[in-house]
């Protein structure tokens, strides 16, 4: 019985992560300058990956909880009345702000160096944190499977 020869992959073939990075660059997605390195889920040890998915689930659950009372896009009530008195419900504000805090916790799990990330997170505003999350989610979203040849 002869050994089966395995064809070597040429050294100039870009890795899947490099191709994904090129795709992301083409879309213009970029982290804010100084953002600590965030690991893709598949580069994390399995227990850390499980923790990341758990943290992401908390972000999604809290976001769903806080957005269920918002008017639907395209509804007639989306134009704010400039003369209306604005009342802030501290409980509602706290629930919404919790989404940002959970995003920070999720990204801390994904950071290559959690201590570095925590220091950075204290210095950036909420908009940068949310943009970092959205960029990370877009960059690390698994691509669609190729169609089979059958």
β-sheet bridge partners, residue 111: 38
* Alpha-carbon span 34 to 31, nearest angstrom: 8
Residue 64 placed within a domain: yes
Asked if the structure places residue 37 within a domain, the reply is: no
Contact at 8 Å (CB) between 42 and 17?
no
Residue 78 lies in a domain: no
**What does pTM read for this prediction?**
0.66
Burial of 49 (0-12, 13-18, 19+ CB in 10 A): middle
Return the bridge partners of 38, or none. 111
Domain count, the chain: 1
Average pLDDT along the chain, 150 residues, taken 10 residues at a time: 48 49 62 95 94 95 80 53 64 84 97 97 95 93 49
**26 inside domain:** no
d(CA 82, CA 86): 9
Is residue 6 in a domain?
no
- Domain for residue 130, yes or no? yes
> Tokens at residue 118, please?
């925590």
- For position 60, what pLDDT does the model report? 94
Domain span holding position 118: 44-68+89-142
Q: Answer whether residue 117 is part of any domain.
A: yes
């Amino acid at each position: 019985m002869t050994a089966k020869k395995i064809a070597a992959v040429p050294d100039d073939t870009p890795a899947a992560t490099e191709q994904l990075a090129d795709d992301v660059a083409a879309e213009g997605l970029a982290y804010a300058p100084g953002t600590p390195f965030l690991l893709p889920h598949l580069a994390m040890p399995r227990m850390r990956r499980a923790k990341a998915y758990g943290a992401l689930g908390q972000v999604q659950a809290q976001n769903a909880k806080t957005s269920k009372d918002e008017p639907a896009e395209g509804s007639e009530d989306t134009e704010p009345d400039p003369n209306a008195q604005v009342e802030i419900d501290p409980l509602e504000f706290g629930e919404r702000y919790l989404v940002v805090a959970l995003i920070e916790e999720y990204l801390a799990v994904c950071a290559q160096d959690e201590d570095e990330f925590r220091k950075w997170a204290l210095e950036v505003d909420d908009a940068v944190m949310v943009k970092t999350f959205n960029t990370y989610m877009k960059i690390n979203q698994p691509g669609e499977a190729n169609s089979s040849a059958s």
